[in-house]
Amino acid sequence: MTFIHPLALLGLAAAAIPALLHLLQRRVPPELDFPAVRYLSAAERESARRLKLRHLLLLILRTALIIVIVLAAARPLVRVRGGGAHEPTALVVVLDNSPSSGAVVNGRLVLDRLRVEAHSSISRTTSADRVWLMLADGVLRGGTREALLASVDSVTPGWQRLDIVQAVERASRLVNAQPSPGREVHVLSDLQRTALVPGRADVPRGVRVLALEPGRAVPNRGIAAVHVTEGAAVIELAGSTAGAVTTEPVPVTIRIGGERGERDRGEIAARGLATPGDRADSGLSGSVVTVSLPAQSLAPGWWVGEAALEPDELRADDRRRFAWRVATPARVTATPAAGGFVAAALAVLREAHRVADGTGRDVVITGGESPTGTRSILQPPSDPALVGQANRGLASRGVSWHWGLSGSPGPIVAPQVSIIDGVQVTRRYRLEGAGAGDTLATVNGEPWLIRSGTLVLLGSRLDTAWTALPAAPGFVPFVDALVNRLVRGEADVTMAEGAPRVEFRLRGADTVGATVFGPDPRESDLTPASASVAIAALGGEERAEVLNDSAFASEGFSGTRRADISGLLLGLALLLAFTDLGVATRTR
Q: Please, what is the minimum distance in Å from the beta carbon of residue 29 to other proteins? A: 5
Question: What is the Cα–Cα distance from 329 to 474, expressed in whole angstroms?
Answer: 19
Contact between 248 and other proteins by CB under 8 A: the answer reads: no
Contact between 53 and other proteins by CB under 8 A: the answer reads: no
Contact between 351 and other proteins by CB under 8 A: the answer reads: no
Contact between 20 and other proteins by CB under 8 A: the answer reads: no
- What element of type H or E holds 79? strand 76-79
Applying CB under 8 A, the span of 35-43, 203-211, 381-389, 426-434 interacting with other proteins comes to 35-43
Q: With CA atoms as reference, report the closest residue to 326 among 295, 289, 292.
A: 295
Contact between 29 and other proteins by CB under 8 A: the answer reads: yes
Q: With CA atoms as reference, report the closest residue to 561 among 126, 202, 254, 250.
A: 126
Question: What is the Cα–Cα distance from 179 to 510, expressed in whole angstroms?
Answer: 56
Taking each helix axis from N to C end, the angle separating 37-73 and 566-586, rounded to the nearest 10 degrees, works out to 170
Question: What is the Cα–Cα distance from 480 to 420, expressed in whole angstroms?
Answer: 12
Please state, as a whole number, how many other Cβ atoms lie within 10 Å of the Cβ of residue 501: 13
Q: With CA atoms as reference, report the closest residue to 543 among 78, 185, 48.
A: 185
Contact between 26 and other proteins by CB under 8 A: the answer reads: yes
How many chain residues bind other proteins (CB under 8 A)? 24
Among 13, 19, 23, 38, the residue binding other proteins under the rule CB under 8 A is: 38
Question: What is the Cα–Cα distance from 393 to 399, expressed in whole angstroms?
Answer: 9
Secondary structure (3-state) at 7? helix
Q: Please, what is the minimum distance in Å from the beta carbon of residue 582 to other proteins? A: 14
Q: In terms of CB distance, is 25 or 127 closer to other proteins?
A: 25
Question: What is the Cα–Cα distance from 105 to 111, expressed in whole angstroms?
Answer: 10
Among 17, 20, 21, 44, the residue binding other proteins under the rule CB under 8 A is: 44
Applying CB under 8 A, the span of 43-51, 209-217, 242-250, 290-298 interacting with other proteins comes to 43-51
Q: Please, what is the minimum distance in Å from the beta carbon of residue 89 to other proteins? A: 54
Alpha helices, H only, 287-401 = 340-351, 387-396
E strands in 189-231: 208-212, 220-229
Contact between 586 and other proteins by CB under 8 A: the answer reads: no
Contact between 47 and other proteins by CB under 8 A: the answer reads: yes
Q: In terms of CB distance, is 389 or 587 closer to other proteins?
A: 587
Q: In terms of CB distance, is 286 or 582 closer to other proteins?
A: 582
Question: What is the Cα–Cα distance from 561 to 543, expressed in whole angstroms?
Answer: 17
Q: Please, what is the minimum distance in Å from the beta carbon of residue 586 to other proteins? A: 11
Q: Please, what is the minimum distance in Å from the beta carbon of residue 13 to other proteins? A: 25
E strands in 126-282: 130-134, 140-141, 182-188, 208-212, 220-229, 232-240, 250-257, 267-274
For residue 563, the cross-strand partners are: 78
Contact between 408 and other proteins by CB under 8 A: the answer reads: no
Question: What is the Cα–Cα distance from 481 to 229, expressed in whole angstroms?
Answer: 13
Applying CB under 8 A, the span of 27-35, 319-327, 354-362, 483-491 interacting with other proteins comes to 27-35
Q: In terms of CB distance, is 31 or 351 closer to other proteins?
A: 31
Among 30, 83, 261, 360, the residue binding other proteins under the rule CB under 8 A is: 30
Given a contact cutoff of 8 angstroms between Cβ atoms, the answer to whether 121 and 186 are in contact is yes
Contact string (CB under 8 A) for other proteins, positions 120-159, x = contact: ----------------------------------------
Among 51, 232, 356, 395, the residue binding other proteins under the rule CB under 8 A is: 51
Q: Please, what is the minimum distance in Å from the beta carbon of residue 86 to other proteins? A: 49
Q: Please, what is the minimum distance in Å from the beta carbon of residue 123 to other proteins? A: 59
Contact partners, residue 167, CB within 8 Å, separation at least 6: 94, 134, 138, 187
For residue 212, the cross-strand partners are: 547
Q: With CA atoms as reference, report the closest residue to 178 among 245, 92, 120.
A: 92
Given a contact cutoff of 8 angstroms between Cβ atoms, the answer to whether 573 and 65 are in contact is yes
Question: What is the Cα–Cα distance from 257 to 306, expressed in whole angstroms?
Answer: 9
Contact between 24 and other proteins by CB under 8 A: the answer reads: no
Contact between 19 and other proteins by CB under 8 A: the answer reads: no
Contact between 23 and other proteins by CB under 8 A: the answer reads: no
Among 37, 177, 395, 499, the residue binding other proteins under the rule CB under 8 A is: 37
Applying CB under 8 A, the span of 39-47, 202-210, 314-322, 446-454 interacting with other proteins comes to 39-47
Q: Please, what is the minimum distance in Å from the beta carbon of residue 580 to other proteins? A: 14
Among 13, 16, 40, 356, the residue binding other proteins under the rule CB under 8 A is: 40
For residue 363, the cross-strand partners are: 332, 375
- Can you give the binding site for other proteins, defined by CB under 8 A? 25-26, 29-44, 46-47, 51, 54, 587-588
